[in-house]
Structure 1
Amino acid sequence: MTDYPLGAPLPAPLVSEEMQHRLAVRRSAPAQDLRTPGPDEAQIAAILKLGARSPDHAKMTPWRFVVLGPQSRANIAEQLAALVKTKNLSPKAAAVLAKLTAAPVSILVISTAAPGLKPVWEQQLSAGAVCMNLEHAASAFGFWSSWITDWYSYDAEAAALFGVTAGETIAGFIHIGSLNEPALERDRPDLAKLTTILP
């Protein structure tokens, strides 16, 4: 992976059939089915670096990362299971915790958007763009990934267990690993119904 010094001209985009193919077959893996192997420390660092090359109006970096290994997620899942009981949540709220604990590695993207220089919505979109870039980066290293949230992303007490502070929100968990069986294709939108072309 090439690093370019500040102010250096960047190479022009090249026609890449491999990238076109990768985008054409991109899909999220079932989070609960992700298994080892996952990315090692060097690969995680590279995935984060690629993920951070996302649109960011005014260079505000309105997001941050928390890398969660199996042990940290198992500990938090245990606390979340207790919250399910104390909050009297549905059985589904407990069942989805399997998505949180299955993958070898999870990258939590936290939106730190705040009123100020640029609209909060643009800052939140930047965090979403980072999530998508992380999925593409994981794929470039040969891994499957899944971008999810689930109930604990929107419950303040639950989100605090991941280190989310006041004013922050969870943009997504990017779970990364391998699959025993390839993911299956799903229905895709009819773009003709969703696209307006203006002269």
Structure 2
Amino acid sequence: MTTPRNALLEKAIGYFAENGVRDTSLRTLAAAIGTSQRMLNYHFGSREDLLVAVIEAVVAADTAMLEELFATESDPFVAGRENWRLTADHAQRFGALYFELASHAMYGKAYARELGEALVDRTEAAFESLYATRTDPATAHRLARLTMAVGQGLCFDLLIDGDRAASDAAIEEFIAMMRARLGAG
């Protein structure tokens, strides 16, 4: 059952995905999503608290997707390819919002503090666990970090130039390099 708070949160996420966060006030957001500033204040408290809820909701959905993928697919090469497909598809709607909120974390905004833990640490740990089935823990950690960097960089490029074919080809090359590094067996 969708609660009024969750319905407002979904509308806010949709608005921010389309328009960015920038310096959007609660009043502007409320008018755009068909509610009142009072209702946003009631359900979220402040603009910063709303942004925390946005970050938590989007990251929770992505984390659940990644955990499900890695729970059902033990081959890191197949999982990596599928993760890229899902990430690239998702980035078409939410990628710019992710990078904008990441810049808020880089500038030390309090509401974005947990973004690093959510976007980097959890995803890196998932890849590290998958790679640990094929190599030692230290190597698995380094390769997980490298995987994150490649994926984020290609996602950034995809959002800038829109060349999905080039990004897909680069991922295939990366998977081939990882297959050589980790072994196909």
Report TM bin, short chain. Answer: under 0.3
Structure having the higher strand fraction is 1
- Structure 2 length-normalised TM: 0.25
Structure having the higher helix fraction is 2
Higher relative contact order (CA 8 A, sep 6+): 1
- Structure 1 length-normalised TM: 0.24
